[in-house]
Amino acid sequence: MDLTLKIWRQASATAKGKFVNYKVQDISAEASFLEMLDLLNESLVQKGEEPVAFDHDCREGICGACSLYINGRPHGPDRGITTCQMHMRNFKHGETIVIEPWRAKPFPVIKDLMVDRSAFDEIMQAGGYVSVRTGGVPDANAIPISKRNADLAMDAAACIGCGACVAACKNASAMLFVSAKVSQFALLPQGKLEANERVRKMVARMDELGFGNCTNTYACEAECPKEISAANIARMNREFLVAKITAPKE
Amino acid sequence: MVKLDAKIPHGPIAEKWTNYKAHQNLVNPANKRKLDIIVVGTGLAGASAAASLGELGFNVKVFCIQDSPRRAHSIAAQGGINAAKNYPNDGDSIYRLFYDTVKGGDYRAREANVYRLAEVSNSIIDQCVAQGVPFAREYGGLLDNRSFGGAQVSRTFYARGQTGQQLLLGAYSALSKEVANGSVKLYTRSEMMDLVIIDGRARGVIMRDVISGKIERHAAHAVVLATGGYGNVFFLSTNAMASNGSAIWKAFRKGAFFGNPCFTQIHPTCIPVHGDYQSKLTLMSESLRNDGRIWVPKSPEDAEKIRKGQMKPTQLPEQARDYYLERRYPAFGNLVPRDVASRAAKERCDAGFGVGKTGLAVYLDFADAIKRLGKHVIEARYGNLFQMYEKINDENPYETPMMIYPAVHYTMGGIWVDYELQTTIPGLFAAGEANFSDHGANRLGASALMQGLSDGYFVLPYTMQNYLADQIGVARFKTEAPEFEQAEKETRDRIQKLLSVNGNHTVDSYHRKLGLIMWDNVGMGRNKAGLEKAIALIQELRADFWKNVKVTGTNDQVNPELEKALRVADFLELGELMARDALVREESCGGHFREEHQTPDGEALRNDKDFNFVSAWEYTGADKEPVLHKEPLVFEYIEVKQRNYK
Ligand SMILES: Cc1cc2nc3c(=O)[nH]c(=O)nc-3n(C[C@H](O)[C@H](O)[C@H](O)COP(=O)(O)OP(=O)(O)OC[C@H]3O[C@@H](n4cnc5c(N)ncnc54)[C@H](O)[C@@H]3O)c2cc1C
Ligand code: FES
């Protein structure tokens, strides 16, 4: 199939960006979306032009590196998958595809379609862990965990940290990302001891980093490539409330 | 000449590690603060090492290419991690895990290292559970296990089809904790360009910030390379796009010996190649072989009809199918080790029984398992893999068998290390897939995750202290030293050279060509003529690369073409070493199959008399032939036999 690509080009974080149109021809329906971009880039290099920069690595939907708004939707039109998992059979011959970077204040553009998501690492550093050291821990089967809770924790832990939730939200809220981590640990006995402190610190860091409030639109849940449930946000709100009530007085 | 000393501790095998730890040198807490360690890589090996060393009180700097440590290639591991817990009470033990690993590796691994790996495997599971890794559980609340190839027990722990992700997120959270504590400093989007040696010891690295292009110098008392495997030398592999061999290649060029470079694992269950625009291959986890049955049509005529689309696989009656693994290997059936399964698939396809449009595919069929267990059970076990398959192939594997074919997956070879995971350069350590250590000529499924975490959580935090104990008097290094100056200059020159060639061919076009040479000649079947041809072809391609490659852009900006070019330039050297090693090893063992050396029924034929050693290659200069050193392997606790999975 032949396609027109309308791609956001921006030379650097400080440069002004703009849309540029490109034509690609003879794209196989079996190719992945990123392979289609590879073909575009290969042709640009051959012409001596600068290829389009975009983040990617695993190309199988697990590392969370790829991003992109495709025709206005994070990770494109198909549900429950990342951009790298999307195949060109989702598009029609002659179509124009608009490709943009995540647009959210806490994720500044680095170049073209690449953005800086280090804010997520910073939120994790604020409390996204159980404070155990290597060694000296009990036998793995010493603490039985109900299958139900283990499964729910796994559902939450499946988050790949891609940032689609933030990109989908009109307020650039990171509630789905943060609540997935908070929920995973809140559901497990290992995480219980530090639960109050964890949620307080992670939420505080999230606010400091400029992520917006959650106004219960749940675009995040709809666009999440791993279909992380917004029920995690409700769970985090409960955790947060408890943490507030029990907070030590300053 | 350098003498290879594996530094294996004395004593019975079950006591070696305990003895080592009891007698090694330690560094006291006050002195740890004065010692700096660089860890390159944040996969399972790097993240676990950096976190654990930071907890101990060392000053750690950790680097990765991706924008976050959580995106290291380990994240993609699907199936699981082995441990000798024997929770299912099915006869497992540390000895059995040790035995299976040595046998699975076709008796080309060092006994002492493998025993230690099996020994610490149980602590890994404990550690990960304590961190909150949500492993699969049974209804009673205890941990669940599954089986993997090459074992007759169920010893694999898993977190759905995302075990690597969950283990890496566990290590990443431990790392994040240490970053918050200030003991670890994190550098993302940063790629290692060179290793710096001062007075014969590893003392630092040259890094390139991939956003600004800035070349940076970092000094330390010791350096750990945990930079993963080099399977991408084949261009198409299951590895992530940024996986590369450059860091270890730089170490090789600075004097670290390279162990068993030709030992490559070709994984039997991957989605077949479908077009020449393809950028990578996708693995379908080995765990699928627990419930899926592998087959091709019994008659070439049926295979032909299926290839032409005149018949569907589901229309072929049971008696017209050849479940060739069950037929050839009744004892292990579909769960034979990877090398055996891959070769068997290639054999059937080469003989004209392959399916799919290209004829380079076999079926992995779940119809029986679905009938026996119900669709919901299969969905719970493999749902995400089935979904992944459907997205790529546009076919529903619940209704029609999957198509699979072998693909490059893992490199058992890597930087040669001794028992302490130290390379031949003092102060330089290698961990995870980057070293050659534990898997011999073939790695068993679910053992890479085990090894990466063993190295990082439980081995390096001990053995590095043994090295660092006499470094406490060595003051922090200044990066103005001439050795840093020189290494930085070499890096800048190399980048400049790549940018100034300005030829006509893209970096990817060279990478693809190299991949084809490797796949055809240094892949699943190897022979003398092919390997000699490969060496000549690679030399030609390398010369052409430096004359005709086109790298757009400049150094002082985000420049993915330059990043790729730097890696491909190294692959073009590494590929040749792999072919050389394969040429010298005149035997078949594990993933290394020399067509000249096979049994009458086509099984790998080892030659223990002449090749019972680890190849350790020494760099001797550009365009000079590398020198082969041999580390003899001694088997005291395992009887060396012809591997038999029948
Ligand atoms: C699809 C797939 C599935 C797998 N499934 C399993 C499984 O189920 N069980 C199992 O046991 N094994 C599995 N494996 C193998 C296993 O995942 C890997 O061997 C293992 O994760 C490697 O870990 P590592 O820490 O050594 O390296 P990696 O995870 O590859 O990490 C390498 C790190 O080094 C950094 N790095 C690399 N080069 C440089 C450089 N030049 N400069 C700076 N940083 C650099 C990277 O950024 C990264 O942080 C699988 C592999 C694949 C490909
Ligand atoms: S590239 Fe890894 S999730 Fe898309």
B611/B220 Cα distance (integer angstroms): 38
pLDDT > 70 in chain B, percent: 100
Residues A122 and A238 in one domain: yes
Q: What local confidence, expressed as pLDDT, does residue B644 receive?
A: 81
Structure tokens at B498: 């790549």
Q: At what angle do helices B163-181 and A118-127 cross, to 10 degrees?
A: 70
DSSP 8-state code for residue B39: E
Ligand nearest to the CA of A83: 2
Side-chain half-sphere CA neighbours of A132 within 13 A: 22
Give the pLDDT band of residue B2 (cuts 50, 70, 90).
low
Q: At what angle do helices B560-584 and B528-548 cross, to 10 degrees?
A: 160
Domain end (from A57, A89, A111):
A111
Say yes or no to pLDDT of B72 above 80: yes
Domain end (from A85, A111, A137):
A111
Q: Where are the beta strands (DSSP E) in B333-387?
A: 362-365
Q: What local confidence, expressed as pLDDT, does residue B149 receive?
A: 79
> Exposed, middle or buried by CB within 10 Å (0-12, 13-18, 19+), for A222?
middle
Residues A105 and A127 in one domain: no
Give A143-174 pLDDT, tens digit per residue.
999 999 999 999 999 999 999 999 999 999 99
B239/B578 Cα distance (integer angstroms): 18
Give B371-392 pLDDT, tens digit per residue.
999 999 999 888 888 988 998 8
Give B10-31 pLDDT, tens digit per residue.
999 999 999 999 999 999 999 9
Query: CA–CA distance from A58 to each of B165, B238, B290, B504 (Å)?
Result: 12, 9, 25, 29
List of chain A residues whose C-beta atoms are within 8 Å of the C-beta of residue B186: 121
List of chain A residues whose C-beta atoms are within 8 Å of the C-beta of residue B127: 132, 134-135, 137
Mutate to test the pocket of ligand 2, among A55, A84, A114 (most ligand atoms within 8 A of CB): A84
Q: What local confidence, expressed as pLDDT, does residue B613 receive?
A: 98
Say yes or no to pLDDT of B65 above 80: yes
SS3 percent helix, strand, coil of chain B, rounded to 5, is 45, 15, 40
Structural domains of chain B in order of their starting residue, each with its CATH number: 270-407 (3.90.700.10), 482-607 (1.20.58.100)
Say yes or no to pLDDT of B287 above 90: no
Q: What local confidence, expressed as pLDDT, does residue A215 receive?
A: 95
Q: Which domain holds residue A51?
A: 3-111
Say yes or no to pLDDT of B588 above 60: yes
Q: What local confidence, expressed as pLDDT, does residue B16 receive?
A: 98
List of chain A residues whose C-beta atoms are within 8 Å of the C-beta of residue B506: 42, 45-46
Is this prediction's pTM over 0.95? yes
Give B145-155 pLDDT, tens digit per residue.
988 878 889 99
Q: Which residues neighbour B253 within 8 Å (Cβ) at sequence distance 6 or greater?
A: B619
Residues A233 and A121 in one domain: yes
Q: What local confidence, expressed as pLDDT, does residue A250 receive?
A: 55
Q: Looking at the partner chain, which of A45, A59, A160 has a beta carbon nearest the beta carbon of B550?
A: A45
Give A94-114 pLDDT, tens digit per residue.
999 999 999 999 999 999 999
- Which residue has the least CA distance to atom 13 on ligand 1? B77
Give the pLDDT band of residue B139 (cuts 50, 70, 90).
very high
Q: What is the mean pLDDT of chain B?
A: 96
- Residue range A17-43: average pLDDT? 96
Residues A26 and A58 in one domain: yes
A226/A155 Cα distance (integer angstroms): 9
CATH number, residue A9: 3.10.20.30
Residues A12 and A104 in one domain: yes
Q: What local confidence, expressed as pLDDT, does residue B305 receive?
A: 96
- Residue range B589-605: average pLDDT? 93
Residues A97 and A65 in one domain: yes
Ligand 1 site residues, Cβ closer than 6 angstroms: B 40-46, 63-66, 72-74, 76-81, 163-164, 191-192, 226-229, 238-239, 243-244, 246-247, 283, 409-410, 432-434, 446-449, 452
Give B495-524 pLDDT, tens digit per residue.
999 999 999 999 999 999 999 999 999 999
Say yes or no to pLDDT of B1 above 70: no
Ligand 2 site residues, Cβ closer than 6 angstroms: A 56-59, 61-66, 82, 84
Q: What is the mean pLDDT of chain A?
A: 96
CATH number, residue A153: 1.10.1060.10
Structure tokens at B171: 């290590």
Residues A231 and A182 in one domain: yes
Q: What local confidence, expressed as pLDDT, does residue B646 receive?
A: 83
Residue type, B451: Q
Residues A23 and A105 in one domain: yes
Residues A46 and A72 in one domain: yes
Residue B621: which region, alpha, beta or left (left: phi > 0; alpha: psi -120 to 50)? left
Total structural domains within chain A: 2
Domain end (from A77, A111, A145):
A111
A156/A177 Cα distance (integer angstroms): 9
Residues A165 and A222 in one domain: yes
Residues A103 and A214 in one domain: no
Residues A126 and A242 in one domain: yes
Give the pLDDT band of residue A249 (cuts 50, 70, 90).
low
Compute the radius of gyration of chain A from its Cα atoms. 20
